[in-house]
Chain A
Amino acid sequence: MEKYYNRGGSNQVHALRGIDLTIDANETICIHGPSGSGKSTLLSILGGIIGPTIGSAVVGGKKLARLPDRFLTLYRREHIGFIFQRFQLIPELSVLENVTLPLLPLGVRPAQQKKRAMELLEKLEIDHRSDFPAAEISGGELQRAAVARALINDPSIIIADEPTAHLDTRLSEDFLSIMSDLKKLGKTIVIASHDPLVSESPVVDRCLYLRDGALAAAF
């Protein structure tokens, strides 16, 4: 597939070129590459945030061609758990409220919301911080809260964008340990990262190198 921004205009950007990629179920992939190489664009397409210009991504049998935003969102809700570089939690909301955000428009009742969220927070060992505002918890706890939010709808695919960029070695290893557990649960994981800790981790099955919007050979 190809992705252009402002196609045909004077400020056209050819963000992704000739991406031909297959990721198997339950595989853990690391995407590696310099700044501006198109990692975020590729993740956005895989995560159903934007669509490709030419071609399509087929995910779990579902074709993500040029879909209206509404359908991308529906796809995202059901299949994708996103973990961001800076975690992107809402600082004034509590950990619990942040984690249950994806459930609100689905009409899940408050009792159910709390139950599902607390189960995840317990597994991630931050249930004792559930009522604290996100602005008041540590970096490691933020990371776990972000993972919990990504998992609340039980997605089959986890996408993480530079998840260890702002973490020290210990917390980075913690994160990889969580990914390893998710892998055992059958999740497919795509991580974009510079960090050699990630690319060289035994959790990662395959590493892809992206440069100027095109994939180099896998290693």
Chain B
Amino acid sequence: MALRYIDRQLNIADYALSGFKRRVARNVVVVFIFALVIFMVASFSLTTTSLKQAAGRLLETVPDITVQKMSAGRQVNLTEDAVDKLENIFGIRSVRPRVWGYYFDENNGANYTVIGHPKLSEKSPLPGLGIDYLPEMQLDTVAENAVIGRGVRQSLELGSRRTFSLFRPDLTLKSFITAGAFGADTSMVTDDLIIMDLQAARDLFGLAPAEITDLLVDVANPLEIDNIADKIGERLQGVRVVTRERIAKTYRVAFGWRSGFGLACLFGAMAAFAIFAWDKATGLTPAQQREVAILKVVGWQTEDVITLRFWESIIISASALGLGYLGAWMHLLFFDGVLFRPVLLGWSVLKPPVSLIPVFSIGDLLIIFSLSVLPYLAATVIPAWHSAAIRPDSVI
């Protein structure tokens, strides 16, 4: 019984395929438009997933806890003695002071992110950021070591030069020499980044000797992060304690709602297509009506004709899904998702060239299916029945 059911389905599917080929011009138009809609939905979905993954990679460089001082709702500088107040909290592996800020380059309107890191002078690796250190260079003037991102190098038009200068607040120049380069795969994080020694950063921004912008705390046991964050909040007055997980959630929610918003806008396109599909399915030509009547006279049941229409819809959906998904994949792989990135990423003067890698996930496929194939199939159900309800005696 089950075998006969399968044979019946295969026969009807085969007939549907031959019908598809017979009316290829009409069907190709439908497939093309459908594939376009799926392409948009899939691009959105794949771009979002890819960005979430990229954000995940970014978060590997963020410490477990970041402590910042707040005053009147804005971030203000701390002093280095805050380190001592935290070091004896049980469970903290290390507390590092940091100076960071934005340097505005008037020549080209670019903002660089400057981070002063105590470890740079030791030439030890920074968490999550591989640095390829360059050989030491002898210079006539005093120059600080700095590691700069690719975007900064291009913006400063360094070419093969290793030295550059930046202005202090009092408009005096501070000289730097590039001590190394970031790994290529960190471009999303490092493109606009300059890392230098802590004291050098203080000097560049004109900060007082013991001033820092925030504290980076690493915790021994990840399960204790929230507890330790609470304790830090109790020990230091007026601080904002941000955990990595909190940042991760914020990214997920941001991408999530942006993606949902974009999809909601695409919904209009999908709805229009569903109406188009309904219209196409409802308008049977006299030849098609005759065909159904003949089928019924020679012994096809109403349910057989409905099954036929169902298979026709499946063939169109499967073709469109394949084309649309493939197109979205290529859009991401070869064109970096250029169509929808602005919606998801927002704008900045120096846009990091994020390399988006499409990720295959069942969840994404389910979403794409529900937002494209499902409405299409739903739109064709009633017209399918309608066409199957043609009376056989109409052909007599």
Contacts and interface: CB of A to CB of B under 8 A. Distances in A.
Interface of A: 40, 43-44, 49-50, 69-70, 73-74, 76-77, 82, 84, 88-90, 92-93, 97, 101-110, 149, 153, 161
Given A50-B393, A92-B22, A107-B5, A102 B11 contact: no
A97 B395 CA distance: 19
A161 B301 CA distance: 22
B298 A149 contact: yes
A-B complex: 10 closest residue pairs judged by Cβ atoms: A107-B7, A77-B299, A107-B8, A107-B4, A104-B11, A105-B304, A102-B298, A102-B299, A92-B22, A49-B393
Given A107-B7, A107-B11, 4 more contacts: A70-B301, A105-B12, A105-B300, A161-B396
Contacts of B392: 49
Interface in B252-293: 290-291
Contacts of B297: 49, 76, 82, 84, 88
A104 B12 contact: yes
12 contacts: A44-B396, A49-B393, A77-B299, A82-B298, A90-B294, A92-B22, A101-B294, A101-B298, A104-B304, A105-B11, A106-B8, A107-B11
B175 interface: no
B302 interface: yes
B291 to A, nearest CB: 6
Contact of B18 (A44, A70, A89, A93): A93
A44 B393 contact: yes
Contacts of B334: none
B202 interface: no
Contact of B302 (A70, A84, A88, A109): A70
Contacts of B6: 107
A90 to B, nearest CB: 6
Contacts of B117: none
Contacts of A88: 290, 294, 297, 395
Given A76-B297, A108-B7, A109-B7, A69 B302 contact: yes
A88 B392 CA distance: 12
Contacts of A97: 18
Contacts, number: 74
B331 interface: no
Contacts of A110: 11, 14
B58 interface: no
B15 interface: yes
A47 to B, nearest CB: 8
Nearest to B9: A107
Contacts of B301: 70, 73-74, 105
A65 B12 CA distance: 30
A153 B396 contact: no
A40 B291 contact: no
B295 interface: yes
Given A105-B8, A107-B8, A107-B11, A73 B296 contact: yes
Contacts of A84: 297, 395-396
Nearest to A104: B11
A153 B297 CA distance: 13
Interface string B5-32: 1111001101100100010000000000
Contacts of B11: 103-105, 107-108, 110
Contacts of B4: 107
B5 to A, nearest CB: 7
Contact of B299 (A40, A50, A153): A153
A61 to B, nearest CB: 20
Contact of B396 (A43, A101, A106): A43
Contact of A76 (B14, B294, B299, B304): B299
Nearest to A77: B299
A82 B304 CA distance: 19
Which of B4, B15, B295, B297 has most chain A Cβ within 10 Å? B297
Contacts of B12: 104-105
Nearest to A103: B11
A73 B7 contact: no
Contacts of A108: 7, 11
Contacts of B15: 104
A75 B259 CA distance: 56
